[in-house]
Amino acid sequence: MSDALEPSPPTLAPSPVDAPSTMSPVPPAALPPDDPTTAGERGHTLPAARPHDAFVPVRRWVVDSPAGLRALRAELREQLSASTSGRAVRPARVAETAVLVTSELATNALTHGRPPAHVRLALDGHLVLVVVSDDDAAHAPFLAEGRAPGEGGFGLQIARRLAHEVGWWVDDAGKHVWATFDVDATS
């Protein structure tokens, strides 16, 4: 697949890359958790932070439903492979990790936010950035703790373990959860 935006299935529609918002994040304490089942659970909201401004936009997708996640993963994997192919250190591993985390974040946006999920890919020369946004600016991403395997709610935990950095911010366009991946990492 080329870098050109091509027609996709109705559940996944690429759209033009837009400029990042300049609004500052809303403090996590000001918003309730995004998962209503977390009431009384141990855990905390993900710390609010924005990625740095040096990233160059590469591609954007709109995912309307869980059915669109498969196409997102395939197209993101292909785009990352093409975008990092000149790197000497493990671009395939970075791509697979970024695809897994992006899928988790997009699933969270569809499940706990207000669909559609907007997924953006950007690069800065050393890092891959994915930003997953939804229209629910009223709830903070919640890092659940103490759940048994099979109870769900581990998407942000997976993202924090596998990504270089993870954060989120809210602006007039909605909630944005992001993760970076180090293309030059040796482990």
Model confidence pLDDT, tens digit, residues 88-142: 556 788 899 999 999 999 999 999 999 999 999 999 988 999 999 999 999 999 8
The answer, yes or no, to whether the previous bond of 116 is cis (omega within 30 of 0) is: yes
- 146 dihedral zone (left: phi>0; alpha: psi -120 to 50; beta): left
Fold of 44-182: Heat Shock Protein 90 (3.30.565)
Whole-prediction pTM: 0.77
Alpha-carbon dihedral sign for residues 89, 95, 100, 104:
positive
How far is it between the farthest Cα atoms of the chain? 48
Q: Where are the domains of the chain?
A: 44-182
Helix (H) or strand (E) holding 133: strand 127-134
b/e per residue, 93-104, with b = 16+ CB within 10 A? Answer: ebbbbbbebbbb
Query: Residue 40: phi, psi to the nearest 5?
Result: 80, -5
Cα atoms in the Cβ-side hemisphere of radius 13 Å centred on 23: 15
27-85 confidence digits (pLDDT tens): 444 554 554 444 445 667 888 899 999 999 999 999 999 999 999 999 999 999 888 77
